[in-house]
């Protein structure tokens, strides 16, 4: 082997052992990580239900209702919305 061959083999050996050690360290860190339990087990939360005002805004954005109807219904929701939930 020439001088460059030894250099390449040495560099390859360093990269090889670096990958092996790195994989081992990542494996140990994964084992050491505490496992989530209870209600916080998932890292994501399901989407919360849309409020009546959000649903109304979506209908307006899709063009299902016009601006006049949107404003009228929004006013009703804001004026009587708290009374509707007491039943």
What does the pLDDT look like over 10-61, one tens digit per residue?
999 999 999 999 999 999 998 887 766 655 555 666 678 888 999 999 999 9
State the Cα angle at 20 between 17 and 25, rounded to 5°.
120
Q: Is the dihedral of CA 40, 46, 49, 53 positive or negative?
A: positive
Q: What is the pLDDT of residue 53?
A: 92
* Contacts for 50 with CB less than 8 Å, ≥ 6 apart: 58
Tell me the whole-structure pTM to 2 decimals.
0.40
Q: What is the pLDDT of residue 60?
A: 94
Q: What is the pLDDT of residue 84?
A: 56
Strands (DSSP E) contained in 1-87 are none
Residue 2 pLDDT grade (very low, low, confident, very high; cuts 50, 70, 90)? confident
């Amino acid at each position: 082997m020439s001088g460059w061959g030894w250099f390449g083999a040495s560099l390859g050996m360093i990269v090889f052992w670096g990958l092996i050690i790195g994989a081992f360290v990542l494996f140990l860190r994964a084992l050491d990580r505490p496992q989530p339990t209870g209600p916080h087990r998932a890292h994501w939360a399901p989407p919360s239900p849309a409020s009546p005002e959000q649903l109304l805004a979506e209908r307006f954005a899709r063009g299902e209702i016009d601006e006049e109807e949107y404003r009228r219904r929004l006013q009703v929701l804001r004026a009587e919305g708290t009374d509707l939930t007491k039943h």
